[in-house]
Amino acid sequence: MPELPDVELYLAALRSHVGGRTLNRARLASPFLMRTVTPALNALHGRRVNGFERIGKRIVWQFEGDLFAVFHLMIAGRFRWREPGAAIPGKVGLLALDFDEATLLLTEAGSRKQASLHIVEGREALSALDPGGTEISSLSLDAFAHLLRLENHTLKRALTDPRLFSGIGNAYSDEILHAARLSPLKLTETLSDTETETLYRATVDVLDRWTRRLIEENGDAFPEKVTAFREGMAAHGRFGKPCPVCGTAIQRIVYAHNEANYCPACQTGGRLLADRALSRLLKNDWPSSLEALERATAKRRR
């Protein structure tokens, strides 16, 4: 799912490619995309795009006449910049937005159609779509600590809670926790003041660094490869690969539709976190430490 750095990358590209242009027509291929009825999608026809902004992981288009189009790309939704009048792809196409100079397509890979589009009028209606999370860039250390400790949850859950913090998801929470050298399953109420400050600094740094990096690497082009798995990430998507800090193999735990990737040496004191599914399968055979994992791996290789 595109998160804060990825959404900011899209926003930068949309501002340069679409900002100030007039939408000639919107062609809807999948009615499941639309989550509102009034105003209708065709209310945007002939209106100028005045700007863009972000609400959490949502991309907001500001149209003249106080209308807003709010896109949530979910896991597999992506924008594609194509020639004027481009056809909507049959299997993955959801929407086409036609401008004089080009057509912007919205696609979604896979069978689970989760991407959404809300058309709303006025700032009050727009604010109703805000889950309430605070932008990290606007938080002081004290404010960050206060939000983190409102409820006792794991750090992974707290960082990805859209009601607490804006725009952080599965991928960048892994990177933040690796940078802070904290376990994803550590509970918020157990954090020391020093650990809280370390987590705050890591959160600010990781999000800012990756946002700047993605925008700089993309340049003036419209982004074509927006993905949760980036070359240069320290933990996310690197299961089994060496930690860039210590060389230990990155481990993961899988739960629901998400996963947490971590370095046991850097983040958990060498302890392996129990994957629920594997724990049920292996029971007492589940290794509890790096040493036990290495022994089990060596035994299987014999």
pLDDT tens digits along 22-31: 999 999 999 9
Which band of pLDDT confidence, cut at 50, 70 and 90, is reported for residue 282?
very low
Residues 75 and 156 in one domain: no
Of 181, 275, 160, whose CA–CA distance to 234 is shortest?
Answer: 181
Residues 87 and 173 in one domain: no
Of 18, 7, 11, whose CA–CA distance to 97 is shortest?
Answer: 18
Q: What pLDDT score was predicted for residue 112? A: 82
Q: Please give the model's pTM, rounded to 2 decimal places.
A: 0.90
Residues 176 and 122 in one domain: no
The residue from 63, 96, 127 where one domain ends is 127
Which band of pLDDT confidence, cut at 50, 70 and 90, is reported for residue 293?
very low
Check which CATH number belongs to the domain holding 253 and give it.
1.10.8.50
Q: What pLDDT score was predicted for residue 296? A: 47
Provide the token pair at 224: 């074509």
Q: What pLDDT score was predicted for residue 286? A: 42
Residues 112 and 183 in one domain: no
CA–CA distance, 206 with 238 (Å, rounded to integer):
17
How many structural domains are present in the chain?
A: 2
Residues 164 and 117 in one domain: no
Residues 198 and 87 in one domain: no
Which band of pLDDT confidence, cut at 50, 70 and 90, is reported for residue 258?
confident
With beta carbons less than 8 A apart as the criterion, state whether 258 and 159 touch. no
Residues 140 and 267 in one domain: yes
What residues make up the domain containing 59? 4-127
Q: What pLDDT score was predicted for residue 256? A: 65
Which band of pLDDT confidence, cut at 50, 70 and 90, is reported for residue 255?
confident
- Residue 110 pLDDT > 90: no
Query: Mean pLDDT throughout 287-300?
Result: 49
Question: How confident is the prediction for the chain on average, in pLDDT?
Answer: 91
